[in-house]
Amino acid sequence: MKSVIKTEPVLEGKEVTMQFGGLKAVSHFNLVMRPNELVGMIGPNGAGKTTVFNMITGVYTPTSGEIFLDGKPIHGLKPHRICHQGIARTFQNIRLFKELTALDNVRIACHTHSSSQWWQALLLTSGHFAEETRITRHAEEFLNVLGLSHRRDHLAKNLPYGEQRRLEIARALATQPKLLCLDEPAAGMNTSEKVALMELIRKIRDDFDLTILLIEHDMRLVMGVSERLLVLDHGVTISEGTPEMVRRDPKVIEAYLGLEEAVK
């Protein structure tokens, strides 16, 4: 019995489809993610990877299909509700609160679990001060985990690129999610930075007991870190399985690796 409960999926997508006018960006997408899994999602440009994230996090409502978090339907909910239910994300084209400090970026994410009321802030109740202190300490912890303590009071826009990406992860973690969705977190980094980041992602998964869905363009990188891979092409899941299986799948070689060959 115990083992059955344990393998209850964290996230489940059933026949999820997203249509933009005449374009089917994602069609009949299915996904089951077990607790603590680290699943990689790959595919060529425009394959529909970010669209999948946008549907999971409520930015788009799927044209059809269902998405469940811990067995509860979340499709059609607003993004903030989905965040409260336990899904956090980063953005492919970094969306930090640019004019705010690194600390404030993370503190805003801590607001999700804040119990203080707005009038308490206006009346300076002791509960308000206690909550502010708790939030600040909490945020500092997450900055520390991502190695950003020295940037605490720097404006987000002034951070180097790689640190901005890490700050996005810190911010997402601060919402205390069950599922973390990372959209190309290593984009724009050099190879050694990328490798370090992948190790960090794995460590975060273990330390915070998370389930992670990771989009990454670099095939080798994602194969090294994920237990399971999902390959999208033109909105269709063309392959799914362990990195070994996917690597040998002729359809993947044709759609994805073939592309890389062609580029070279």
Partner 1 sequence: MKLLKNFLPFLIGIPILWGIQLISPPHIAIILVNVGVNIILAVSLNVVNGFTGQFSIGHAGFMAAGAYTTAKITLALQDTLLPGLSPWLSTQTIFLMALVAGMLLSGTMGLLVGMPSLRLRGDYLAIVTLGFNEIIRVFIENIRWLGGATGLSGVPPYTTLVWVGLGAIATISMARRLVSSTHGRALLAIREDEIAAEAMGVNTTKYKIRAFVISSAFAGLGGGLLGHYILLVTPKTFTFIKSMEVVGMVVLGGMGSISGSIISATLLTVLLEGLRGLDQYRMVMYALLLVILMLTRPTGLFGTHEIWDVLSRYFPKRKAVQKA
- Residue 160 as a binder of partner 1 (CB under 8 A): the answer is no
- Residue 188 as a binder of ligand ATP (CB under 6 A): the answer is no
Task: Considering the complex, state which of residue 131 and residue 184 has its C-beta at the smaller distance from Mg ion.
Answer: 184
Site string for partner 1, 169-188 (x = CB under 8 A): --xx--x-------------
- Residue 43 as a binder of ligand ATP (CB under 6 A): the answer is yes
Return the C-alpha torsion angle 68, 72, 75, 76, nearest 10. Answer: -170
Number of residues that bind partner 1 (CB under 8 A): 44
Task: Considering the complex, state which of residue 25 and residue 139 has its C-beta at the smaller distance from ligand ATP.
Answer: 25
- Residue 185 as a binder of ligand ATP (CB under 6 A): the answer is no
Q: Which of 2, 4, 22, 45 binds ligand ATP (CB under 6 A)?
A: 45
- Residue 92 as a binder of Mg ion (CB under 5 A): the answer is yes
- Point out which residues bind partner 1 (CB under 8 A): 57-59, 78-80, 83-84, 88-89, 91, 95-100, 104, 107-112, 114, 116, 118, 121-126, 128, 131-132, 135, 150, 152-154, 171-172, 175
- Point out which residues bind ligand ATP (CB under 6 A): 20, 23, 25, 43, 45-51, 92
